[in-house]
């Protein structure tokens, strides 16, 4: 079998200093995972899972429409809808599946989808599978969004993230809701990086702002601060039934097993009360934001902190120095981000210490020295 075409593309990646490899954790201070509250780090789900009289199954036996539906997963969906103040919810196997499943089937031919240019790859991939026309608007630019809304046709959908995964900033949701009402557009918000972190109970930015009734759909994922796996799409009961009937990633995927559903239920019994962890996170965020660095640092009030270091080779070199000092900071390279905006994506956690953050700041400052 000839694989020269594969080798050619891989060599191009290497030449661009963009070649990706897998690595195993090796005991460094964690500044890269999405385990914001430390639920995984501290083993909280395992420690708070009560042994069931009947062992939890690790397989569901099929898709939800065949053999894979069961009472616990429907109970989960009702619990999630109640907690997030939505009429209904439908569970998906991951946040990627949820975004793909929602955007590939809901917007129809003749409809218009407007999405923030920094929207996650899963949202964009869902739009690629949709028959609707889709247009990006400049990041968090309300004027650009309104211009797009004025030209939109059919049913209009506006897609954004509440907290952006690569910049750590927040969408101007209140203003976006006003625009959506003015132009009769349907707002879809991906809450992946806000779930567990934003709000008194970690309920997410939409509820924190009291905008849950203004959203057509919300996506909450469980692989970040919630500390397990899976996702839910929240919306009306009509939307739930539509997804059951038309969302291919839901219809043709084996359902989450009982063990996964139980983990989600346990996590939702934990993170709403983790007030001290969220307070610790905010203190570390403030510490890092107040630091003076020799590189551009994006404004962010969330655990995602970004230091811009243009060039794949340069950002990889500085990440390597941090790794050598036992700080697990990963570079984000082109083409994941646009050329010239390569960065260190630094993730703060409730279990990080002030000393670790100060060490990180010191090493970043030293990395700009000619001696390096």
Residues carrying an active site annotation:
34, 120, 161, 165, 190, 193, 224
DSSP state of 214: G
Cβ atoms within 10 Å of 110's Cβ, excluding its own: 11
Integer-rounded Cα Rg, in Å, for the chain is 21
Q: Tell the residue number behind the tokens 């100060």, with chain if given.
A: 358
Q: Are 36 and 196 in contact (CB under 8 A)?
A: yes
Q: Among candidates 148, 159, 151, 72, which has minimal Cα distance to 120?
A: 159
CA 223 to chain centre: 8
Task: Catalogue the E-assigned strands of 93-192.
Answer: 112-116, 133-137, 156-161, 185-190
Give the torsion sign (CA, 183, 186, 187, 188): negative
Measured in degrees and rounded to the nearest 5, phi and psi for residue 130 equal -85, 155
d(CA 114, CA 109): 14
């Amino acid at each position: 079998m000839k694989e020269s075409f594969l080798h050619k593309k891989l060599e191009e990646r290497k030449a661009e200093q963009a070649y990706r490899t897998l690595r195993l954790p090796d005991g460094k201070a964690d500044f890269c995972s999405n385990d914001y509250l430390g639920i995984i780090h501290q083993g909280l789900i395992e420690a708070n899972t009560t042994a069931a009289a009947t062992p939890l199954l690790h397989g569901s036996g099929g898709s939800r429409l065949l053999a894979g539906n069961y009472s616990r997963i429907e109970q989960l969906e009702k619990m999630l809808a109640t907690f997030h103040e939505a009429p209904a919810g439908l569970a998906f196997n991951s946040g990627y599946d949820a975004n793909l499943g929602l955007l590939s089937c809901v917007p129809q031919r003749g409809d218009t989808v407007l999405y923030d240019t920094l929207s996650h790859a899963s949202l964009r991939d869902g739009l690629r599978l949709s028959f609707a026309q889709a247009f990006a608007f400049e990041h968090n630019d309300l004027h650009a969004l309104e211009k797009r809304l004025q030209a939109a046709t059919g049913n209009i959908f506006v897609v954004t993230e509440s907290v952006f995964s690569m910049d750590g900033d927040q969408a101007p949701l209140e203003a976006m809701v006003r625009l959506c009402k003015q132009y009769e557009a349907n707002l879809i918000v991906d809450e992946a990086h806000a779930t567990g972190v934003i709000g008194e109970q970690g309920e997410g930015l939409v509820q924190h702002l009291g905008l849950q009734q203004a959203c057509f759909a919300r996506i909450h994922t469980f692989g970040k601060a919630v500390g397990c796996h899976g996702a839910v799409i929240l919306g009306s009961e009509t939307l739930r039934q539509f997804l059951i009937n038309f969302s291919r990633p839901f219809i043709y995927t084996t359902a989450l097993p009982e063990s996964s559903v139980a983990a989600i239920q346990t996590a939702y019994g934990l993170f709403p009360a983790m007030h001290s962890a969220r307070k610790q996170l905010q203190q570390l965020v403030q510490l890092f934001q107040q630091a003076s660095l020799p590189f551009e640092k994006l404004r962010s009030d969330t655990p995602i902190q970004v230091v811009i270091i243009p060039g794949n080779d340069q950002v990889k070199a500085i990440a390597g120095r941090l790794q050598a000092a036992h700080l697990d900071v990963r570079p984000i390279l082109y083409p994941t981000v646009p050329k010239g905006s390569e960065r260190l994506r630094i993730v703060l956690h409730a279990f990080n210490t002030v000393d670790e953050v100060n060490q990180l700041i010191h090493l970043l400052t030293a990395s700009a020295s000619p001696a390096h």
